[in-house]
Chains A and B, each alone.
Chain A
């Protein structure tokens, strides 16, 4: 069983909003140096899904990431969690891409890796929230794709997947190889274990440039974009909250009831 997990390094999405500044000239959201780089939480859960399969039926798990100037500690986290190999598509040419150029690069890398039964991605990245990369890879490699999985079981060349829906879930069977995108309902990702760290320290990332995956630098990253970001802006928040007053918290709570009743909201 060979599993490839695609992971993205992003600025910590849980960091307070005041630590991000909008640069309207460059159309980017700049994170203050305080904001840590992390793995996209959904991708971390995709790693968890891969490792659960590895624990159960055995698998070689390869983590695959893309970017420029990737943080070696962050991108290596899947290996510390228990993944076996790490491949980084790392080059200036890979920077500033959209779902289009990213899916093309990842698909090209997966083709080069060659052996795979399962490709896992997070359902979306917590920065641009596009949620397209998994479906894109599947289409480019002509594989079936199941999105937003909350449970994956592998048997006999097939995967049984519970897919999250608006009102519950559906159970689907998909033939392997396949792409599955993982949702947060799968549960908490594991913490790196001490015994893994020694093994992980020996794992050196394999770094591929666009040429290594047969990609023209002009079709990678920002040059390969298909969506143009015209403008990035922040909606104005009115901030006119009427805070209930009172001597005690009880009095404030009663005032809330009175206020809402008076405004005929309840």
Chain B
């Protein structure tokens, strides 16, 4: 039997708070840990993060390792990898999980190659094979056209997990766990990558990933002016605007508002897709929305297969009429 035990989650503190992805990983990993009868551990790397990192206990972690050091203030691959590698070597976790985020998608594969391990990236479902305790990792491939289930034989078994795909852990004040600060006295290696500037291109209004209603435009919108109409609609619906990769690549809206495999993964209550044909890589980013509404003039567009409600018609006619009617119903 393997000496590898317990699950280790790479945690992230975002703007001074426990990241949403970390709550999701803790939720998913807790269920696996209970099934294994093993513990759930998490590791945080950064500067001034001990306070929010402690929160992970309330979200189900049995042990929270914290590497808190002013020199770790901004994420840099090799620097952070050194810390994670150290813990993995000591802890020998059975599973090692990352979010498929700016950090995790960068760090996970690099560390996997360092550890000589296979990793499955951008997974949406994790389960365990009862006899072997191997981790079954399911992820969309071919832009979401099919799903692949992967296993590997060596430990730690690694994965990065797509945001909004696991059910987040719920906060429990009574939860018990240990906070373990890591000894960070040893000098950190000099880095070959230096972060010079971090720029937030956040727009005013509701954040795309937090919005309850999203109105999204695709190739059919045709120009930036079209997106102004979508913005007005979003404002009225107290929602956010998103777009397909083509819309973003054409510069009709900022790249940070792209919904899809290489953009944001969203799961609002209502997703209104306007002039979006429904390429699998886009659907992969919005298919977890509670309700999808499609407005498209092509009745054969793939988006109608995924939508619960649809209008077949030119959005330039449909959207203004739809909005007028909504306003009249106010």
| Contact status B193-A174, CB under 8 Å | yes
Among B143-178, those with CB < 8 Å from A are 143, 145-154
Contact B192 A178 (CB under 8 A): yes
B128 within 8 A of A: no
A166 touches B102 (CB 8 A): yes
Judging by beta carbons under 8 Å apart, are B118 and A136 in contact? Answer: no
A253-B196 in contact given A135-B109, A136-B113, A227-B152 (Cβ < 8 Å)? no
B326 within 8 A of A: yes
Contact, CB under 8 Å: B256 / A227 = no
Taking a contact as CB atoms under 8 Å apart, the answer to whether A229 and B150 are in contact is yes
The verdict on A173 contacting B193 (CB below 8 Å), with A131-B105, A166-B256, A234-B146 known, is yes
Residue from B112, B192, B198, B326 in contact with A257 in the complex, judged by beta carbons closer than 8 Å: B326
Known contacts: A164-B255, A266-B237. The answer to whether A230 contacts B109 by CB under 8 A is no
B187-237, CB < 8 A from A:
191-202, 209, 213, 237
Stretch in A49-57, A77-85, A180-188 touching the partner: A180-188
**Once bound together, how far apart are the Cα atoms of A259 and B312, in whole Å?**
15
Q: Is the CB of A20 within 8 A of B199?
A: no
- Cross-chain contact A145 with B110 (CB below 8 angstroms): yes
Cα distance, A129 to B265, chains bound together (Å): 15
* Contact partners of A235 in chain B: CB under 8 A: 147
Bound state CA distance, A235 and B280, in angstroms?
12
Expressed in whole angstroms, the minimum distance between the Cβ of B119 and any Cβ of chain A is: 7
What DSSP secondary structure best describes chain B's contact surface? mixed
The chain A residue sitting closest to B328, CB to CB, is A257
Contact partners of A135 in chain B: CB under 8 A = 77, 106, 109-110, 113
Name the one of A100, A165, A178, A266 contacting B198, with C-beta atoms under 8 angstroms.
A165
Least distance between B316 CB and chain A CB atoms (Å): 10
Of B35-43, B46-54, B299-307, the one with at least 4 CB within 8 A of chain A: B299-307
Task: Evaluate contact between B151 and A17: CB separation under 8 angstroms.
Answer: no
List residues of chain B with CB within 8 A of the CB of A237: 305-306
Are B109 and A29 closer than 8 Å at their CB atoms? no
Q: How far is the CA of A71 from the CA of B152 in the complex (A)?
A: 31
Q: What is the distance, in angstroms, from B95's C-beta to the closest C-beta of chain A?
A: 14
Complex contact B149–A231 (CB within 8 A): yes
For chain A residues 122-154, which have a beta carbon within 8 Å of chain B?
Answer: 123-124, 126-132, 135-136, 138-140, 144-148, 150
Say whether B22 faces chain A, with CB atoms less than 8 Å apart.
no
Q: Whole-angstrom distance between the alpha carbons of A226 and B156 in the complex?
A: 13
User: Do residues A129 and B141 form an inter-chain contact, with CB atoms below 8 A?
Assistant: yes
CB contacts (< 8 Å) of B118 on chain A: these are 98, 100, 226-227
Having A132-B121, A252-B312, A256-B318, one finds 13 other A-B pairs with CB under 8 Å, namely A126-B142, A126-B143, A135-B77, A135-B110, A136-B110, A171-B196, A184-B262, A230-B151, A249-B314, A250-B317, A252-B313, A253-B321, A257-B322
Residues of B within 8 A of A (CB): 77-78, 101-102, 105-106, 109-110, 112-114, 117-122, 136, 139-143, 145-154, 191-202, 209, 213, 237, 245, 248-249, 255-256, 261-262, 264, 269-270, 279-281, 291, 293-295, 299, 302, 304-314, 317-319, 321-323, 325-326, 329
